[in-house]
Amino acid sequence: MKKKLILFTVDTVVKNDNLKDLRDVFGDAIDIEAYSLDREIPPGEIEGDLVLTVTTFDMERILPYLKGNAEIFHGNRTILYESYERLKLLPEGTRALVVTTNIMACMELTALLIRSGINHVKFLPLYEGMGSMPEADIVVIPQELKGIPDTGNLPKLNLGRRRITDETYRAIAFSLGVRTAEIEERIEKKTANLLKLRTFDIPLARICSLEDMLNDTFDEIDDGVVIANRNGRIIYVNRSFLKITGLRKKYTGNAELEDIIPERLKKELSNAEEKENIIFEIPEIGKTCLISRKNIVSGNAETRYVAIFKDITNIEKLETKIRSTIHRQTYKAKYTFSDILGESPAIMDTIKKAKRIAKFEKTTIIYGESGTGKEMIAQAMHNISARRKMPFVGINCAALSPELIESELFGYEEGTFTGAKKGGKRGLFELAHNGTLFLDEIGTIPPEVQMKLLRVLQEYEVRRIGGEDIIPVNVWVIAATNSDLKRLVEEGKFRADLYYRLNIFPVKVPPLRERGEDSGLIFKNMVRDYNKSEMKNKKISEGLMKAVKKYSWPGNIRQLKNAAEYLWYMSDEVLEASDLSYILDTSPDAPSDQDSENCNRDRNYHRTDAKNDRLSESGSSNEQKLLSIIKELQREGISGRRKLKSKLEERDIKVSEYKLRKLLKLTEEEKTHA
């Protein structure tokens, strides 16, 4: 029966790469199974003759998965000889960042490079979550990994993926009794271009030098590192540990370390239990740390304990920096008060009031009809406040179901409900920390969520759904609504206490019909923007400008923008008032301006009636001809905008994407009405 080799790695990528190499070398001489610790593994069911690991982790992590007492062997990996030659060419004294995803991988790679004989380069560690980046001249990475820290514009030296050494292959062959000439030939072929590592060739002077280099490397790490023997006696600490624990001035050498460490910390270090990210307070020095502890078994079976200390203060600073960076990319207010066009007293009074409130960052509610630009006002307020460099997070409460709105605002813990994201999810209040949260259509929030929202506004702290921890937040809340909240309070649909909490600093955005000739100014600016983006110089007729200023625009700026877009793309050189018939009902039976003012503000006013949209009843002759050609092409089996556009261009007919979409929509409507 064939012998079986079990491979364990820390991640799937390393597992797949090394599994392929092992099968290339041993073929069908042995059975090989591979597992990665980042995937679920059934406990106590894995059985084999030899267990191989090639990445650094605590050996005891894999014991629960094994059945029986298989021998565990830690193999070595090396780099391409070509990469080694490139490292040798680096100038004397080069500062090289060794970049990996975690501290253990960083230590392993650094040790490999030192063992290879590269001693003229100073290797500095950099891993995810480390904190500040040391000054360096070049970046060394084992391969293009996801999740590695950003190193800016520093030149990169990619070592490629590390591969199993020839000696490791031979040790496996020896242990499993499959040493043959054929396998030896495969080993030679597989490792021909790899750097050969021979630790016994390194003289004692070099080993001492390497120890100094490793000490220097550990001292560059921001996290505290403590190594203790199996009896709990500390045999090594790095500089950051002394700094984090406040022992730097008291410490003069290992002999005195036991005497100066606070009793609670000494007891923690002597504990053999493995831990990960445990919060530990040291009241004697007023410090709170995050401690991870691992057990390491060396080649002579001696157990050592490695503890990693993280300063909570540094973690908080790093979290703020990460939040700030992410939010600058994803949650950013783009509008300022200079983007709000208008010269009417109504809008100027609104802007003046909004600017004044923004100085104090008090809870604000913006009232205005649909399409008046409430979010633009909110973004502009954020951009002149002291929070302008922090996130602006906006949400339309009406767009979410009552079930979803609560989890979006407050977040949830893992396993709270079916389909919950692994690790839980931060709510919008957490995402907006130190910034601004804009709650549009706040009148649609269900009563049970209104109560929780009120508590957050009063206490400035949230608790995720399914969670127990209270999370403090510093958020400026700006709400908006097109509803009469006071009437909703009277009808029992909106909490009175929440209404009074929001209504301290109200801002009213006037509709276009109350802004005099602002509609003409805004329309002219919109046409100018389209001219600029499309590199045209289309004009506005006097008749159209008069019509724009005269019309009440019940859909406000949103309706005006839709009209400007339609008129620009559907016109030739001059935008004419006659084209408004496609987007506004101007028939004798159309509602008057006064009627428009009184109709439902939430209605989508820029929809056209089917009779006005159908070119067969009121379109121009050119569009009629173009529509006939499109129908003819469709009868020939040609469909889809791209194919139709291509066929039209073959006939020297130029048509914009916008117009083509409109015409295709009309053909569908005609089929419906037929």
pLDDT at 502 over 80: yes
pLDDT at 457 over 50: yes
Q: What is the mean pLDDT of residues 1-26?
A: 88
The string of DSSP codes covering 339-371 is GS---SHHHHHHHHHHHHHHHHT--EEEE--TT
User: Which helix (DSSP H) or strand (DSSP E) does residue 87 occupy?
Assistant: helix 81-88
Pairing verdict, β 122-127 and 234-237? unpaired
Cα-to-chain-centroid distance, residue 265: 37
The string of DSSP codes covering 288-324 is EEEEEEEEEE-TTS-EEEEEEEEEHHHHHHHHHHHHH
- Rounded mean pLDDT of the chain? 80
The region of weakest confidence among 229-233, 396-400, 517-521 is 229-233
Q: Are residues 433 and 568 in the same domain?
A: no
Q: Are residues 391 and 254 in the same domain?
A: no
The region of weakest confidence among 84-93, 215-224, 361-370 is 215-224
Per-residue confidence (pLDDT) for residue 32, from 0 to 100? 93
Residue 148 lies in a domain: no
Q: Given CA atoms 345, 346, 348, 352 in this order, what sign does their dihedral have?
A: positive
The domain spanning residue 26 has which CATH number?
A: 3.40.50
Per-residue confidence (pLDDT) for residue 112, from 0 to 100? 84
The domain spanning residue 492 has which CATH number?
A: 3.40.50.300
Q: Which residues contact 445 (CB under 8 A, 6 or more apart)?
A: 397, 405, 439, 453
Q: Are residues 278 and 372 in the same domain?
A: no
Residue 28 lies in a domain: yes
Q: What is the pLDDT of residues 334-382, one digit of tens each?
A: 899 999 999 999 999 999 999 999 999 999 999 999 999 999 999 999 9
**Which of the 8 DSSP states describes residue 260?**
H
CB-count burial class (<10 Å; 0-12, 13-18, 19+) for 409: buried
The domain spanning residue 309 has which CATH number?
A: 3.30.450.20
Residue 484 lies in a domain: yes
Q: Are residues 624 and 591 in the same domain?
A: no
Question: Dihedral (C-alpha) 276, 278, 282, 288: value to the nearest 10 degrees?
Answer: 110
**Which of the 8 DSSP states describes residue 66?**
B
Contact 44, 65 (CB under 8 A): yes
Per-residue confidence (pLDDT) for residue 166, from 0 to 100? 87
pLDDT at 200 over 70: no
Q: Are residues 506 and 526 in the same domain?
A: no
- Looking at per-residue pLDDT, the higher value among 255 and 443 belongs to 443
Range of the domain at 465: 331-510
In a 3-state reduction of DSSP, which class is residue 572? Answer: coil
> CB-side exposure of 493: number of CA atoms within 13 Å?
11
Q: What is the pLDDT of residues 314-339, one digit of tens each?
A: 776 666 665 555 444 457 888 999 99
**Which of the 8 DSSP states describes residue 508?**
E
The string of DSSP codes covering 9-61 is ESSHHHHHHHHHHHHHHHTTSSEEEEEETTS---TT-B--SEEEE-S-S-GGG
Residue 177 lies in a domain: yes
Q: Are residues 597 and 640 in the same domain?
A: no
Per-residue confidence (pLDDT) for residue 598, from 0 to 100? 34
Per-residue confidence (pLDDT) for residue 199, from 0 to 100? 46
The region of weakest confidence among 62-66, 186-190, 389-393 is 62-66
User: Last residue of some domain: 510, 530, 556?
Assistant: 510
Per this entry, what is the length of the chain?
A: 674
Q: Are residues 504 and 632 in the same domain?
A: no
Residue with tokens 């791209």: 642
Provide the H-helix boundaries in 508-555: 518-534, 542-550
Q: Are residues 358 and 453 in the same domain?
A: yes
Q: What is the mean pLDDT of residues 219-227?
A: 80
Per-residue confidence (pLDDT) for residue 325, from 0 to 100? 52
Q: Are residues 382 and 355 in the same domain?
A: yes
Q: What is the pLDDT of residues 259-269, one digit of tens each?
A: 677 777 777 77
pTM for the structure as a whole? 0.46
Per-residue confidence (pLDDT) for residue 334, from 0 to 100? 87
Q: Are residues 296 and 391 in the same domain?
A: no
Structural domain count, the chain: 5
Q: Are residues 365 and 426 in the same domain?
A: yes
Contact 639, 645 (CB under 8 A): no
Contact 420, 407 (CB under 8 A): no
User: In whole angstroms, what is the distance from residue 215 CA to residue 223 CA?
Assistant: 14
Q: Are residues 371 and 450 in the same domain?
A: yes
621-635 vs 641-650: helix crossing angle, rounded to 10 = 110
Residue 114 lies in a domain: no
User: In whole angstroms, what is the distance from residue 369 CA to residue 327 CA?
Assistant: 29
Residue 529 lies in a domain: yes
Residue 411 lies in a domain: yes
User: Last residue of some domain: 282, 315, 348?
Assistant: 315
Residue 273 lies in a domain: yes
pLDDT at 249 over 70: no
